[in-house]
Amino acid sequence: MKIVAGIDIGNATTEVALAKIYENNIEFLSSSIVKTTGIKGTMKNINGVFKSLKNSLDKSNLKIENLDEIRVNEAAPVIGDVAMETITETIITESTMIGHNPLTPGGVGVGVGETVKIDKLESVDKNKDVIVVIPKEFDFEVSSKLINLYSDKLNINGAIVKKDDGVLINNRLNKKIPIVDEVSLVEKVPLNMKCAIEVAPIGGVVEVLSNPYGIATLFNLTSEETKHVVPIARALIGNRSAVVIKTPKGDVKERKIPAGNIEIVGLNKKAFVGIDEGAKKIMNAINSVNIVCDVKGEPGTNVGGMLEKVRHVMSNLTNQHPKNIKIQDLLSVDTFVPQIVKGGIANEFSLENAVGIAAMVKADKLQMQKIADELTKSLGVNVNVGGVEADMAIRGALTTPGSNKPLAILDMGAGSTDASIITKEHEIKSIHLAGAGNMVTMLIKSELGIDDFELAEDIKKYPLAKVESLFNIRHESGAVEFFNKALDSKLFAKVVILKPEGMVPIEIDESLEKIKLIRKSAKERVFVTNAIRALKKVSPTNNVRDIAFVVLVGGSALDFEIPQLVTNALSQYNVVAGRANIRGVEGPRNAVATGLVLHLKEE
């Protein structure tokens, strides 16, 4: 006899299925669920695993010492990092930015000073901080000699060079400085202006100038001025070198950071698409590449900064080099972003066309093995990495009463949507796609112009009503409910969220109908889109119509309207879809954890 635990580390929750395996039988003892600690697939998950495991053991009056084996899912480290990329370009005034990612900048570090043309160094006051501007008529030998000559008199802290001479100049300097070269429009660099330059080491990226507070520190900006440099900092994320120059008001009329282009790298082909072409064109480009190996953003653009941020966040969490972090899927959705109207007197804003993007990092089984090894060491119990998450989920889904092979599942979580299909011969095919509950919350948050993520999450999860008087409310379905006791006067005439613990007012000036429409539309754009996309990929013929039965599992399958939206959409393909009931008791939850235990028994 063995006591085993299957543990599913998800984006939002960590679930446990505890079971006893003896002879050829399996008896499930208990289950538990807690909030996932840290980003899925990282070492911070261990705290959540401990808590969920302890809860499950306590329910069965067991202790850690009674466990014979633990199986954890082969979790894809997912950053459902979602960014809003405006289709129109971001306009920056009173600042300029140049030096977008030359291949071979010189030196390393951050330098701050006043921009001075190299042939004007002799007229500069002694001990002044200087950034040298070198036009094309000065070659590397002359430039390096002049910098060395004046370095005793001046604090030469960096250089901006027209030609590809950064390394050649740096190699000849007595004092090493950061140098950005290949600046084609060096003649446009404003002179005698405060300038900051940064060059990262080989393999690194700029950290100071890609941080709005870093720029604020170097330029002594006020909090109001710092707001204006956010687009600059964002566009510089992922660059190896950067230059930011502060110019007098009106001197630089307009600088634009474009939304940018993305490159989808497949096994046998590449696809390119601009963010300004909209979500449909982006998804067509993604779908045109059979197996996505990586997605790259154009350097110096908004989308480039967003995708590089995904890589670097996961790099820091997993101790891998950013170049080894690959984006395996991307979901884009057309949406709107509220933009403050410049010159407004009451924070007026207008809705601007934008594209919402969810990116997902490729799974790394080695990372999950590290978590398993750490758990083995801490618990004194053998912890192994089980199979692919979607494969485990389909095993769990088959415990739903009335289900049988062949069967397809949709596992709809917080960060990703997975699909898996099992044939009568027990062959399994699965897919893991970006975009799920978190992206829906982000769309609601953006389109309603609210800052509170938790409020947007509640709007997503619960139905709405309008408080028409202190004694009645009208539900979003149109039904009227009366109360014997007067409601809180603070709720009068408000749109409220009907949470189990009570009514929560939504403090925005929008009608119930509009909030409901935005909520429903966001769910359709993410879950219906991903459901059809995922099922096409696992279908033997790439046709959803060839799948007869689909079971919905995962946290988002508990939502009060997502299953109906997905079921209605799939009915157009003659697909029978419904919410799972794992082991007849768990509802749509615990599918992966249950599948891990069943897989262990199979072995």
Q: What is the pLDDT confidence band of residue 75, given thresholds at 50, 70 and 90?
A: low
Q: Could you tell me which residue, 136 or 16, shows the higher pLDDT?
A: 16
> 60 a known binding residue?
no
- Is residue 330 scored above 70 in pLDDT? yes
User: Is 542 labeled as ligand-binding?
Assistant: no
Strands 407-412 and 549-553: parallel
460 annotated as ligand-binding: yes
85: pLDDT confidence band, cut at 50, 70 and 90? low
Which of 306, 559, 527 is closest to 415 using CA atoms? 527
| Domains along the chain with CATH numbers | 2-77+364-403+582-602 (3.30.420.40), 81-88+258-361 (3.90.470.30), 93-250 (3.50.30.70), 439-518 (2.40.50.140)
| 11-42 pLDDT, tens digit each | 889 999 999 998 878 999 999 999 999 877 77
Give yes or no for a contact between 489 and 470, defined as CB atoms under 8 angstroms apart: yes
Q: How far apart are CA 148 and CA 144, in angstroms?
A: 6
Is 298 annotated as belonging to a binding site?
Answer: no
pLDDT number for residue 469? 95
Give the span between the Cα atoms of 488 and 177, in whole angstroms.
Answer: 66
Q: Which residues have CB under 8 Å from 79's CB, separation 6+?
A: 39, 310, 313, 314, 359, 360, 361, 415
For the chain, the average pLDDT equals: 86
Interatomic CA distance for residues 501 and 69, integer angstroms: 39
Over 80: is that where the pLDDT of 317 sits?
no
Q: Which residues share a beta bridge with 13?
A: 35
- pLDDT grade, residue 240 (50/70/90)? confident
- The pLDDT assigned to 341 comes to 41
Tell me, what's the pLDDT at 169? 93
Above 60 in pLDDT, residue 600?
Answer: yes
**What is the structure's pLDDT at 172?**
93
Using the predicted structure, report yes or no on whether residue 421 has a pLDDT greater than 90: yes
Mean pLDDT value across residues 60-79: 84
What pLDDT was estimated at residue 105? 84
Q: What would the pLDDT profile of 462-472 be if each residue is shown by its tens digit?
A: 999 999 999 99
Residue 481 has pLDDT above 70, yes or no: yes
Query: Does pLDDT of 346 surpass 60?
Result: no
Using CA of residue 556, residue 561, residue 563, residue 565, what is the dihedral sign?
Answer: negative
Annotation-wise, does 247 bind a ligand? no
Task: Extract the runs of DSSP E, i.e. beta strands, from 267-382.
Answer: 270-274, 292-297, 327-340, 349-361
At residue 365, the pLDDT reads 62
At 144 the pLDDT is: 94
pLDDT for 234: 73
Element (H, E) at 104: none
Give the pLDDT of residue 315.
Answer: 80
The pLDDT-based confidence of 249 (bands split at 50, 70, 90) is low
Per-residue pLDDT, 386 = 85
The C-alpha angle with vertex 232 and arms to 228 and 236, in degrees rounded to 5, equals 160
**Is residue 101 very low, low, confident or very high in pLDDT (cuts 50, 70, 90)?**
low
What average pLDDT score do residues 350-377 get?
78
Pick 2 or 260 by higher pLDDT.
2
On whether 458 is known to bind a ligand per the annotation, the reply is yes
Between 260 and 572, the more confident residue is: 572
- Is 415 a residue whose pLDDT tops 90? no
Q: At what angle do helices 529-538 and 562-571 cross, to 10 degrees?
A: 50
Cα–Cα dist 45/15, whole Å: 12
For residue 347, what pLDDT is reported?
Answer: 43
Residue 12, annotated as binding a ligand: yes
Angle between helices 365-379 and 45-59 (to 10 degrees): 50
The share of the chain scoring above pLDDT 70, in percent, equals 90
Measured between alpha carbons, how far is 537 from 429 in angstroms, rounded to an integer? 9
Was 259 annotated as part of a binding site?
Answer: no
Q: What is the pLDDT of residue 117?
A: 93
181 labeled part of a ligand binding site: yes
Is 164 marked within a binding site?
yes
Task: For residue 130, name the pLDDT band (cuts at 50, 70, 90).
Answer: very high
pLDDT in tens, 172-220: 999 999 998 888 778 778 888 888 999 999 888 889 988 989 999 999 8
Does pLDDT of 90 surpass 80? no
For residue 65, pLDDT beyond 70? yes
What percent of the chain is predicted at pLDDT more than 90?
49
In this predicted structure, what is the pLDDT of residue 84?
Answer: 54
Q: Specify the amino acid at residue 544.
A: V
Across residues 353-364, what is the average pLDDT? 76
**Is the confidence at residue 359, as pLDDT, over 90?**
no
418 labelled binding-site residue: no
DSSP of 111-139: EEEEEEEGGGGGGSPTT-EEEEEE-TTS-
**100 has pLDDT over 50:** no
Q: What is the pTM of this model?
A: 0.69
Classified as helix, coil or strand, 97 is strand
What pLDDT does residue 214 have? 93
User: Is the pLDDT assigned to residue 251 strictly greater than 60?
Assistant: no
Strand order of the β-sheet with 95-98 is 95-98, 241-246, 194-199, 109-117, 129-134, 155-161, 179-180
83 falls in which pLDDT band (50, 70, 90)?
A: low
> Residue written as tokens 């002799």?
122
Mean pLDDT of 527-546: 91
pLDDT at residue number 78 = 55
Task: Check residue 182 and give its pLDDT.
Answer: 82
Question: What is residue 391's predicted lDDT score, i.e. its pLDDT?
Answer: 86
- Count CB-CB contacts under 10 A for residue 16: 27
Whole-angstrom CA distances from 354 to 259, 338, 349 are 9, 10, 15
